[in-house]
Each structure stands twice: as C-alpha cells, then as structure tokens.
C-alpha cells in the first residue's frame, strides 16, 4: 500500500473494517461494535524486540511512549495463535527490527481485558486478524495491514510530515485545505483569502484545518506527487481534501469562500452545509 496516498489509506482502512479509524469524529463514523466474545485462554506469544512495553494496557502505553520519543509505532493486533497469525508475527518482528531507529513496535492480544482501551479506540473488536496499524508520532494512522502482509509494506508505511498532518486531521473528521505556496509563487494572499474566510465561518471553523506546504520541500515530494502538484508551480495552489481522503478540488490562484462551500456541497461525502460544523463533521472530542 502506498501510504503517501490519502485515498489509498482511507479506502484500505475501510476495507479492513476500520472506517471508524478513517472517519473518527465525522457524522458518518462507524458505531462501536460489540466486544469480542471471550474464548479459551491461550498462551501469549513470546516477548520479542518488538515488545518494548510490558504490563497491563501495554498498547496505550506504547502509543504514548512512541509519541514522546517522536517515533512511529507499529501495533500487531491478534486474537488467536493460528498458523497465519504466527507467520505474520514473524514478518512483523523482522520489519520492526529493521526500522528500530525510526519506530517502535508492540503486540496486542485484543481479547486481553487490559487492552480494552486500545481496542475501543480503533474499534477493532470485529476487525480481521491479525492486523498491523502503523501510527505516526502525531497519532495519524498511515497504514493498515489486515490478515496477510509483506515486510516491505510495513517498511513503506512511513509518511511525509505534511501527509501526517493531513491524515491526522482527516481521521479526526476534519476538512483540510492543503495550501502549496512559497516566496516565489504568485497570488499567495489571494489563494489564502477564501480559505481563511471559510475557516472563520462558524459552520466550519472547528471542522477545518489548513496545512501549508512549500512546493520545493524535497521531504514532501511524494505527497505533492500524490496531490498532483508540481514542485515548480508558478502560482499558489490549494487542494481541498475531505474525509476519508478525497481531494474534491485543486485550485490555482485566488480562492473564494462561497465557491469552496459550493464545492463541498457537491462532493459525494457525508459532510456539507448543515452536515459540518457544530454537531456534524467536527473535531474528535
């Protein structure tokens, strides 16, 4: 899975039964499912280098630990010790060992009562298992890998800083304006005008994020390619993205609030005038 792709990640999470992750906070977010039925207790997998946190609730503790360290976290969720799970655990451990400098890893058994908080957080009680979630330091899910995956897929789950910001906002159910400009692009102020007016509108204020990118920033090259924005643009460009990761418009030059609202109302999403803002598609509480 190409994890720089907002659409790909959103659809992958949905396909994995994780739409609650992709659209948390939006009016169409998935309802919490029933808890997993208790089964016969089985021995936990042996501790490995991918288990930096031990003790009750190690999943939530690992999230905090990785965030505090400014590292990614890869979480291996499982329910049983069947052949498929054990095979994928080996792949997971090998991948985590290779990216030790950039990421931490932890294995979580979803039937363990002490892990209820992380299971509920990501609505995993009915998700296909085994499952690996890749999480950026800011909490954005940059990859979801259910049932069967390869080591390379996990190693490729790192996103650019801009992608992480946008994904986190989308997963919090927010609308995002990606404003691509720098000191050399034309119409910078005009391009920001409509975006700022949109965000100051009471209907959309709490449900909107603005992310500014420099088109010449090499760290964001893959993200800009995903957005179909060239690094040598002459005019400020604005990309309007809605959950779970659909770019509904790419605008060059000046923007206008009314035109942006019209674009949103025409978009095939669960958010729009009357659907966004207070009580609608707003920030995760």
pLDDT tens, residue by residue, 154-205? 999 999 999 999 999 999 999 999 999 999 999 999 999 999 999 999 999 9
Report residue 187 CA to chain centroid gap: 31
Shared domain for 191 and 133, answered yes or no, is: no
Q: 272 pLDDT exceeds 60?
A: no
- The string of pLDDT tens digits covering residues 70-90 is 999 999 999 999 999 999 999
Q: What is the pLDDT of residue 5?
A: 59
In a domain, 179, yes or no: yes
Shared domain for 152 and 183, answered yes or no, is: no
As for how many domains the chain has, the answer is: 2
In a domain, 203, yes or no: yes
In a domain, 11, yes or no: no
The CATH number for 207's domain is 3.40.30.10
Residue ranges making up the domain that contains 137? 43-159
Tokens read off for 130: 């085994």
Tokens read off for 113: 């009562």
- The string of pLDDT tens digits covering residues 210-266 is 999 999 999 999 999 999 999 999 999 999 999 999 999 999 999 999 999 999 999
Q: What is the DSSP letter of 34?
A: P
In a domain, 85, yes or no: yes
Q: What is the pLDDT of residue 6?
A: 63
Please tell me whether residue 135 adopts helix, strand or coil conformation.
strand
Shared domain for 148 and 172, answered yes or no, is: no
Q: What is the 3-state secondary structure of the chain?
A: CCCCCHHHHHHHHHHCCCHHHHCCCCCCCCCCCCCCCCCCCCCCCCCCCCCCCCCCCHHHHHHHHHHHHCCEEEEEEECCCCHHHHHHHHHHHHHHHHCCCCEEEEEEECCCHHHHHHHHHCCCCCCCCCEEEEECCCCCEEEEEECCCCHHHHHCCCCCHHHHHHHHHHHCCCEEEEEECCCCCECHHHHHHHHHHHHHCCCCHHHEEEEEECCCCHHHHHHHHHCCCCCCCCECEEEEEECCCEEEEEEECCCCHHHHHHHHHHCCCCCCCCCECCCCECCCC
Q: What is the pLDDT of residue 17?
A: 52
- The string of pLDDT tens digits covering residues 101-116 is 999 999 999 999 999 9
Q: What is the pLDDT of residue 3?
A: 41
In a domain, 204, yes or no: yes
pTM confidence score: 0.78
Q: What is the pLDDT of residue 65?
A: 97
Shared domain for 155 and 167, answered yes or no, is: no
Q: What is the pLDDT of residue 53?
A: 43
Shared domain for 140 and 231, answered yes or no, is: no
């Amino acid at each position: 899975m190409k994890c720089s792709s907002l659409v790909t990640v959103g659809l992958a999470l949905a396909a994995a039964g994780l739409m609650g992750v992709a659209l948390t906070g939006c009016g169409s977010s998935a309802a919490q499912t029933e808890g997993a039925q208790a089964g016969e207790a089985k021995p936990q997998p042996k501790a490995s280098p991918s288990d930096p946190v031990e003790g009750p609730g190690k999943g939530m503790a690992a999230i905090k630990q990785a965030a505090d360290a400014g590292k990614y976290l890869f979480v291996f969720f499982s329910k049983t010790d069947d052949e498929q799970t054990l095979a994928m655990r080996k792949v997971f451990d090998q991948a985590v060992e290779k990216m030790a400098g950039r990421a931490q890893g932890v294995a979580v058994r979803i039937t363990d009562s002490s892990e209820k908080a992380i299971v509920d957080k990501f609505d995993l009680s009915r998700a296909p298992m085994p499952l690996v979630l890749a999480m950026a330091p800011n909490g954005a899910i940059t990859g979801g890998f259910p049932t069967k995956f390869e080591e390379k897929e996990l190693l490729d789950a790192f996103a650019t800083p801009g992608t992480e910001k946008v994904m986190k906002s989308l997963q919090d159910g927010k609308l995002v304006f990606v404003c691509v400009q720098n000191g050399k692009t034309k119409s910078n102020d005009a391009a920001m005008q409509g975006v700022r007016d949109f965000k100051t509108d009471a209907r959309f204020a709490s449900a909107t994020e603005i992310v500014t990118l420099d088109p010449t920033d090499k760290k964001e090259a893959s993200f800009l390619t995903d957005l179909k924005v060239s690094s040598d643009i002459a005019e400020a460009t604005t990309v309007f993205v809605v959950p779970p990761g659909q770019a509904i418009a790419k605008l060059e030059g000046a923007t206008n609030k009314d035109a942006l609202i019209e674009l949103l109302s025409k978009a095939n999403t669960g958010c729009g005038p009357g659907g966004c803002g207070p009580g609608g598609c707003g920030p995760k509480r």
